[in-house]
Structure 1
Amino acid sequence: MSATTPSASARDTVADRTSATPPSTPRLPEPTGRQPVGTTSLHMKDLSRPDPWVPTAKARELMVSLWYPAKTRDGRRVQYLTPKESELILQGSLGTPSDVLSRTRTHAIGDAEPAGGRHKLPLVVLSPGFTWPRSSLSALAEDLASWGYAVVGIDHTYETFATTFPDGRVTTCAACELEDVEDFGRKAEESRAVDVSFVLDQLLGAHPKWIGSRLLDPSRIAIAGSSLGGASSSEVMLRDPRVRAGINMDGHMFAPLPPGGLSRPFLFLGQQSFHSPGSAADTTWDDNWPLLTGWKRWLVVAGSVHASFTDYDLLAEQIGADLGSDLTGLRSVEITRRYVRAFFDLNLRGVAQPLLDRPSARYPEVRFCSPPATTCQ
C-alpha cells in the first residue's frame, strides 16, 4: 500500500492513518467476465544464477501464482495472504502488524481444473510494486482470467515484505537494505526482467511446471506491472521478444530506453498529479515517450494515488486506512481493470477498442495525454 509517489528509491509505504474499527472481512470485487476463475501457486528455482540480493543463496527461488479460466466455480477459494504475510506487510507499510488481510475474500478457486483448448489462452505477466507481493494485483488477475486470459503473478524474492515458500520459509525484504546503493533501481529492473524470462521458460519449455501450460498461446504474451513492476515492463520487453505488449502502471523508469527505442505496443497508466507530461515530480515518462515508436497511449487518472492501480486502494479503505485517494477503492479497481483489459484485448486479441482512442463519458477521471502538450484531455 502506498500513500507516496514512486520516488527513485523509496519503498511503497502508506500513511499511518487508520480508523479504530476496521471491518473484519475485506473483499475483492467480483470478476466481471463470465468464466469461473481458478488459481494455483508454483515454486520455481533458477539454478543458473545466485540471488541478486542475497548472494549466499546460490539459486534464485521464486513463488508465482497463476490465475486462469476454470471448469468449475465449486471449490475452496484461495487465501489472499497467510496471517504471517499480512502481519509483515502491514507492519512494513502501515507500521501496525495485523492479520486482517489474510481474511480478504477472493473469488478464485484453488487448484481448479483449467479450461480452454490447446494454445488458446493469451498469457499476461503481472509484476508487483517494490515491497508488495504478487497478491497485490489479485483483483486485476481474477478479472482478466474471467475474460479468458491466463495470468502469472511473480513474487520477486527479497523485494517483498513477505514471501512464503512451500517448506514454510518466509523471506523478507533484503533488498530494502540496499536502496541507497548506486543504480539500485536499474539493477532491480534488470533482475526482474531475468525473473520474468525464467518464469516464461518454466511455463512454456519442454518440461513445463504447470499442468495447464499446453493451453497457453506462446505467440500472445504481454506484461503489466505496478510501480517498480511497471517500470520493469519495458526492460522485460527489450530483453525478451516473446513479450508483445506492456503496461507501466505508475512506475518511475530507472533504466531509460535505448536510442533505438521500443517498437511494440506500450501503455502508460498513472496518477494525474505525478505523471502528467511536464510534471516536476517525475520526468522519466517524458524522457522515454519519444522512444516508444509503436502503438502507445499515455493515460492519467484524476484523483488516484500510487496504490490505485493495485488492490491496496480498495483494501486500505476497507480496513480503515486513508491513502489520500479522491476515488473510492471500487472505482480505482474498475478503472484499472477496464483499461488494462482493453489494452490486452486490442494487442493480444486484435479486437478494436474505442475506449483507448478518446476520452470516455463513463470514465471521466481518465485523461489522455499527448506530449509535447502538457494538458491532458
Structure 2
Amino acid sequence: MTNQLPRQRRRVTGRRALAACAVAALCALTAALPAAADTGASPAPSSARPLSLPAPSGRYRVGEVDLHLVDHSRPDPWRSGQGRRELMVSVYYPATHTAGRPAAPYMLPEAATHFADVTANGYLDLHVPAGRADWARTVTHVTRGAPVAAGRGGRLPVLLYSPGLGEPRTWGTTLAADLAARGYAVVTVDNTYESPEVQFPDGSLATLTMPSDADAFVRKALDVRVTDTGFVLDQLQALNSGRNPDADGQPLPRGLAGALDPAEVGMFGHSMGGTAAALAMDADHRIGAGIDMDGNLTYLDGSLMPVAQHGLDRPFLFLGKDGKTDTGPGWQAFSAHTPGWNRQLTLLGSEHGSFTDAEALVPQLRLRPCERADDIGTIDPATAIRTNEAYVSAYFDHWLRGSSGRLLDGPSPKYPDMVFVK
C-alpha cells in the first residue's frame, strides 16, 4: 500500500487529550483525560517487562491472521480528500498444526510504541509507570497463520468484536482467543482514525482524530462504526467464497476460505464497542445476537439512542460493572421496548476495564492497590476472566449453536460474582 495513507501517521503528533463528557460506559473515558507527551517512535526500554495473557480455556489451539481491508466505494469519513476507507482487522480461529509457527504479536511495533506513549496512561488512564511494560512482546498463546481446524458441524460461527473508544482492537484479545478456542471465528475491528492507533502493513500508523465537539464526535463515530461493521461482514462473505479480501494480497491461512458460517453471526463489544454492537444489530439483520459490555445507550446530552427507544427483535445481553453507573436509563429503556429475550447482569467487584485485557495485564504491572482497583476493581482477576468467558460463551453457544443456555436462566453457584439484575 503506497500513497493512500498520510505519511504523517508514522509519528505521534502533538499532545493528546480527549475532551469528552464522561458517559463512562459509553466512551471508557472521563472528561479531560490526562495529556500524554509526544515521544516519537521510541522503542520500549530494555528493562520493560513482557506481559502475558491467560491461555484460552477451549479445546482448540488458536490461530490468527491480520487483514487489511479497503472499501473503494467509500471515502474516509475522518479525512477529507482520502478517497477510500481502510481498516485493519484480526481474525482468531481454531487452529491445527501450530508447532513451529511464529506466535502472533500482541501489538505491532509502531502501535505498541504509541500505546505506551499515549494510550495506556492517556486514553485508558492505566497508571503504568514509564518503561514498566513491553506491549509488543506480550505473550498471547496465539499462533500466526496456522491452518484452520474444523469446528462443530464443519463451519465456524462468526463473532465481531468492537473495542471501546480509546482502546485498540488488541485490548480484547483474551476473550477473542478464548472464543476461538471454543470453535468460533472472532473478528476484532479497528475503526481507523477513531481507534487510538492502527498500524498498516507498510508500517504507517493511523492515530485518533481528536474531537472539537464531544457529542458530535460520539454520534459520528457510532455511525461510522455501524457502516464499518457492515463492510467487514461483506468482506468476510467474500473471503468465505474463496476471494482474498486483503488489500496487500497476503496469503490466507489454509482452510479459512469456506470455513465461516455466514448464517450464524454475533457481535460483542466493550464500552462504546458495546453500544456499536446494539446499533449495528439494529442496522444489519445478519447479526443474530449481541452483547454490550458496559456501554451506554444514551448520547452525551442524555437523550436515548434510537435502539433504546424501539429495542431489538433479536436476543441481547448486557454485562455491567459493579456500583453506580450511568448505563441505567438507556439499558432500562431498551429492555422496556424489547419484547424478546434480553438480560442484564452485573459482575460484582468489577470496574469498567474488567471486561478487557486490563483484567489480565494490570495485575502484572505492580501498581499501588488504589491504582489497581481504579483500573479493574476488587474482584480476583482470574475469577473475573473465568466468569466473563463462561457467560459470553454460554450466550453465543445458546443463540448461535442451539446449546441449552442454562447458565443464562439465573444465578449459578459456580459463578457467584455474576448477579442477575434483569
TM-score bracket, normalised by the shorter chain, equals 0.7 to 0.9
1:79 aligns with 2:131: no
1:112 aligns with 2:156: no
Question: 1:357 is matched with which residue: 384, 393, 409?
Answer: 409
Given the superposition, is the C-alpha separation of residues 265 and 327 from structure 1 closer, same or farther in structure 2, using an over 3 Å criterion? same
1:6 aligns with 2:15: no
Q: Which amino acid aligns with 1:82?
A: L
Question: 1:251 is matched with which residue: 290, 295, 319?
Answer: 295
Corresponding residue for 1:373?
Answer: none
Of residues 345-354 and 206-215 in structure 1, the stretch that sits farther from structure 2 once superposed is: 206-215
Distance across 2 between alignment mates of 1:215 and 1:14: 43
Distance across 2 between alignment mates of 1:362 and 1:304: 17
CA contact (8 A) 2:25 2:294 kept: no
Given the superposition, is the C-alpha separation of residues 141 and 350 from structure 1 closer, same or farther in structure 2, using an over 3 Å criterion? same
Structure 1 position 65, deviation (Å): 0.3
Distance across 1 between alignment mates of 2:327 and 2:81: 37
Structure 1 position 137, deviation (Å): 0.7
Given the superposition, is the C-alpha separation of residues 329 and 56 from structure 1 closer, same or farther in structure 2, using an over 3 Å criterion? farther
Structure 2, unmatched stretches of 5+, are 1-21, 36-46, 123-128, 246-251, 300-304
Secondary structure, counterpart of 1:76 in structure 2: coil
Q: Which amino acid aligns with 1:200?
A: L
Structure 1 position 9, deviation (Å): 5.5
Q: Which amino acid aligns with 2:77?
A: P
1:187 aligns with 2:249: no
Q: Which amino acid aligns with 2:342?
A: K
Structure 1 position 331, deviation (Å): 2.3
Distance across 2 between alignment mates of 1:229 and 1:346: 22
Distance across 2 between alignment mates of 1:290 and 1:54: 39
Q: Which amino acid aligns with 1:300?
A: T
Structure 1 position 94, deviation (Å): 1.2
1:289 aligns with 2:323: no
Distance across 1 between alignment mates of 2:294 and 2:25: 11
Of residues 230-239 and 319-328 in structure 1, the stretch that sits farther from structure 2 once superposed is: 319-328
Corresponding residue for 2:378?
Answer: 326
Secondary structure, counterpart of 1:189 in structure 2: helix
Structure 1, unmatched stretches of 5+, are 17-21, 371-377
Question: 1:57 is matched with which residue: 66, 82, 90?
Answer: 82
Corresponding residue for 2:19?
Answer: none
Distance across 2 between alignment mates of 1:7 and 1:310: 13
Structure 1 position 47, deviation (Å): 1.4
Distance across 1 between alignment mates of 2:347 and 2:405: 18
Superposition RMSD on alpha carbons, in Å?
2.4
Question: Residue by residue, what CA displacement relative to the aligned partner does 1:184-235 show, whole Å, maximum 9, x if unpaired?
Answer: 3222122111111111111113535256130101110000000111001111
Of residues 142-151 and 69-78 in structure 1, the stretch that sits farther from structure 2 once superposed is: 69-78
CA contact (8 A) 1:120 1:216 kept: yes
Question: 1:124 is matched with which residue: 154, 159, 172?
Answer: 159
Corresponding residue for 1:89?
Answer: 115
Corresponding residue for 2:352?
Answer: 306
CA contact (8 A) 1:126 1:223 kept: yes
Corresponding residue for 2:262?
Answer: 218
Matching of residues 149-168 of structure 1 within 5 Å: 149-168=184-203
Structure 1 position 41, deviation (Å): 0.3
Structure 1 position 11, deviation (Å): 3.4
Question: 1:271 is matched with which residue: 277, 298, 321?
Answer: 321
